[in-house]
Structure 1
Amino acid sequence: MPYVLLAAAIAAEVGGTTAMKYSEGFSRLWPSIATVIGYVLAFALLAQVLKSMSVGTAYAIWAGVGTASIAVIGMLFMGEAAGVARISGIALVIIGVVLLNLGGSH
């Protein structure tokens, strides 16, 4: 169950970050509201995850997968560059998350 909540926390954070891009510096109401909701939900879910998972593992997965997801969204939908270094960095983040999971979360 903690991994389901962690996935939801990551999705909320990714949604909030994506909405932040469209808020234009918090000058557009609805994307700004979506940003706040996304982050509040992400932190609330992450807090629930921390009841049953180590903070180091949970936060590393949350931050790493969220960062990699936002980078991919930026490249696919927002016209950001998709160079070798950037794609390699995303791969390294994913490898790190896998290694954390192989090491155990308790």
Structure 2
Amino acid sequence: MMYLTLSGAILAEILGTTAMKYSDGFSKLWPSLGTALGYLIAFVLLAQTLKTMSVGTAYAIWSGAGTAAIAAIGMVFIGEAVTAAKIIGVLLVIAGVVVLNLGGATH
């Protein structure tokens, strides 16, 4: 169950961050509300995850997966530059999450 709530938190954070891109500095109502709702849901689900998973592991997975996904979304759908440095950076984030997760994902 903890991975289900963590996955929901990651998805909500990705959607909230993507909406933030389209909020134009919070000057557009609907994307701004989408950002707020996405992050509210993300933090609620992350808090639920922390009941059964260590904070370091949960946060590493949450932030790392979100970072990697947002970087990929930016490069694939928003037209941001694809560079070797970005790809290596995303791979390093993923590697860091894997290493931290190997340390144990229990409370």
Fold match, TM over 0.5? Answer: yes
Q: Distance in 2 between matches of 1:59 and 1:101?
A: 10
**How many residues in Structure 1 have an aligned counterpart in Structure 2?**
106
Q: What's 1:74 paired with? A: 74
TM-score, length-normalised on structure 1?
Answer: 0.96
Let me know the Cα RMSD of the aligned residues: 0.8
Structure 2 residues without counterparts, runs of 5 or longer: none
Q: Distance in 1 between matches of 2:80 and 2:62?
A: 22
Would you say 1:64 and 2:84 are equivalent positions? no
Matched with 2:32 is 32
The list of structure 1 runs, each at least 4 consecutive aligned residues, that deviate by more than 6 angstroms after superposition, is none
Superposed CA offset, 1:48-75 (max 9, x none): 0000000011011111110111000000
Offset of residue 98 of structure 1: 1.5
- Aligned AA for 2:64? G
Partner Cα distance (1:93, 1:4) in 2? 21
Shift of 1:95: 1.2
Counterpart secondary structure, 1:37: helix
Amino acid at match of 1:36: A
Task: Report how far residue 96 of structure 1 moved.
Answer: 1.3
Distance 1:3 1:89 in 2: 24
Alpha-carbon offset, residue 23 of structure 1: 0.6
Relative to the length of structure 2, the TM-score reads: 0.96
| Structure 1 unmatched ranges of 5 or more | none
